[in-house]
């Protein structure tokens, strides 16, 4: 669900890959079980890992 008007991907990737980013999540899923808004933060974190991995691979394979 990417929005072509969104220009914040670079900043988000830096945050996702920071020491407090998505890679410290062990995907136990407890956050989704206890979420008071009944959303699925665990799935969103996993999606962040996918996006981060794609960004890394593209940057590695496609020199700028």
C-alpha 45 chain-centroid distance: 5
Residue 27 domain boundaries: 22-61
- pLDDT computed for residue 37 by the predictor: 95
In a domain, 34, yes or no: yes
In a domain, 17, yes or no: no
In a domain, 7, yes or no: no
**Within 13 A of 20's CA, how many CA atoms are on the CB side?**
1
- pLDDT computed for residue 24 by the predictor: 94
Query: What is this structure's pTM?
Result: 0.77
In a domain, 49, yes or no: yes
Q: What is the pLDDT of residues 1-60, one digit of tens each?
A: 566 788 888 888 899 899 999 999 999 999 999 999 999 999 999 999 999 999 999 989
CA angle, residues 8, 57, 42, in degrees to nearest 5: 60
């Amino acid at each position: 669900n990417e929005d072509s008007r969104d220009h914040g991907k670079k900043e988000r990737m830096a945050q996702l890959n920071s020491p407090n980013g998505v890679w410290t999540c062990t995907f136990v899923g407890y956050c989704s079980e206890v979420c008071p808004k009944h959303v699925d933060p665990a799935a969103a974190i996993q999606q962040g890992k996918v996006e981060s991995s794609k960004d890394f691979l593209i940057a590695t394979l496609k020199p700028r």
